Amino acid sequence: MSDAQSQIKETVEGNDVVLFMKGTSQMPQCGFSSKVAGILNYLGVEYTDVNVLADEDVRQGIKDFSDWPTIPQLYVKNEFIGGCDIVIEMMLSGELDTVLANNGVGFDKDAADKIREANG
């Protein structure tokens, strides 16, 4: 296992929620990363952001780690959830609420309902 793979595995296993993204949670550097970070921020989810632009080995390594070709990538309790489209779909269906709740991850249910109302 490469250093990047070890670092990724350690990050995913050591944090309840991890978002591998372009940029940071406070300064996303791509629209897809911005959408997923925006959802998590709006829901008040505490998460670790990993800026893949800061390290080319991590940028490629996360794609190999998950066998998923795109970034952002969201992990909850060591489980790969998906990228931007999947997270949005799960948010709108209520499935993301279930994943977070079942894993003991705190989030603002009212905020989740507001997102669904606004997009319903």
Segments making up each domain of the chain, as ranges: 3-118
Phi-psi region of 82 (alpha: psi -120 to 50; beta: other; left: phi over 0): left
The model's pTM is 0.96
Architecture of domain 3-118: 3-Layer(aba) Sandwich (3.40)
pLDDT tens column, 66-111: 999 999 999 999 999 999 999 999 999 999 999 999 999 999 999 9
- At residue 45 the predicted structure's pLDDT band, cuts being 50, 70 and 90, is very high
pLDDT tens column, 64-73: 999 999 999 9
Nearest to 109 by CA among 99, 95, 97: 97
